[in-house]
Amino acid sequence: MEQGNSAQKTAPDITEEHTSRLESIISQRIRDKAFDDVVRKFRQDETALVASYRNKTRIEVEQSVRKSLAEVYEDKFQEAQTKEETVGGSGETEVETYIDPATEAIDSDMKVLFQKLDALSHFQFKPTEVGVLFTPLS
């Protein structure tokens, strides 16, 4: 077996100098009372927390048992609908999306770059994307 191909770190040579240096470090830590002991952590009073969690889950389970699955989904859907803001009284929801101008610029530059790469490959790998020809007026 060749010794040059070993990926393991070699053990240090134990000499008098190495031993004395370790002893001086240990004795200095003892003098400074700098021990690497684990600091014991005490648990806080978790009994009240666990009891409240158990009661809460029990109440939720009891309520969900009384309802059918369709009613549970209906309630979740209604909660989601009430959270959305309505514009005017028409019932249309307003969706606010913020797109960073730098992100838009990067997206447009990437589309141009990919179109040029596709053109260099003679569109063998991907057909051209169909753009929007018209926008409906409402």
What share of the chain has pLDDT > 90, as a percent?
Answer: 19
pLDDT digits (tens, 9 = 90+) for 70-119: 888 888 888 888 877 454 455 555 556 788 899 999 999 999 998 888 88
pLDDT for position 88: 44
Expressed in percent and rounded to 5, the helix, strand and coil fractions of the chain are: 50, 5, 45
Is residue 6 pLDDT above 80, yes or no? no
Residue 60 φ/ψ, nearest 5 degrees: -65, -40
Higher pLDDT, 116 or 6: 116
- Measure the CA–CA gap between 116 and 108, rounded to whole angstroms: 13
In angstroms, how far is CA 20 from the centroid of its own chain?
49
Write down the residue that tokens 């010794």 correspond to.
3
Q: Which residue has the higher pLDDT, 94 or 1?
A: 94
